[in-house]
Amino acid sequence: MSEFLRNLRDYIQRHLPTESLDNLSVGESEVPFASSLSEFDNRQREANQSIKRQLLRLLPDKDREVAELIDDLAPKAIAEVIGSTPEAVQKRWERFIKWLTPVAVHLDALVECLPEERDKWVMERYLDGQPLSEIAKAIGISQSAIEQTVKRVITAWKKAAKQNPTDPVSAMVDNER
């Protein structure tokens, strides 16, 4: 499991405890149940990868590059790749994980609490990986308007996560008032 997902999982487990299915032992009489557990584990892994893809889309290019490389490289090696220092890489990692983790836990609710239906529609499609040009074409507005919406929403989510890391949705609602 990547460090990115491990940090995210650790945070989620602290706030939403779950039991790992990997540690369960299975007897012969439990094989049908075990295959169901295995299928559940596979779906959970797929869901984790989907969440990771969604969260990476929320990061600026430099941060996204660090997040993608952190699974395979140490901060020193990442610094060499992106032309930075290990300290700057570590700081960047800490900064974006601090706001991104609460957003990850509440992502669906954050989308739902957006006051404008168009913003919800844009963010749902953006998080699903649709290119900005396709979103713009489908909604009938310019790609730059889509980019502005995405930037505005991400900025609001960052602010809400900093204001209330345990419940950024409440912070979003309060900020809209």
Q: Output the pTM of the full model.
A: 0.72
Note the pLDDT of residue 41: 73
First to last CA, the chain: 40
Query: What digits encode the pLDDT tens for the residues 116-127?
Result: 999 999 999 999
Note the pLDDT of residue 88: 93
User: In this model, does residue 62 exceed pLDDT 50?
Assistant: yes
CA angle 123, 124, 130 (to 5 degrees): 90
| Contact present, 104 and 111 (Cβ < 8 Å) | no
Q: Which of 32-41, 63-72, 141-150 has the highest mean pLDDT?
A: 141-150
Assigned token pair, 44: 């959970």
| Contact present, 49 and 39 (Cβ < 8 Å) | no
d(CA 104, CA 110): 9
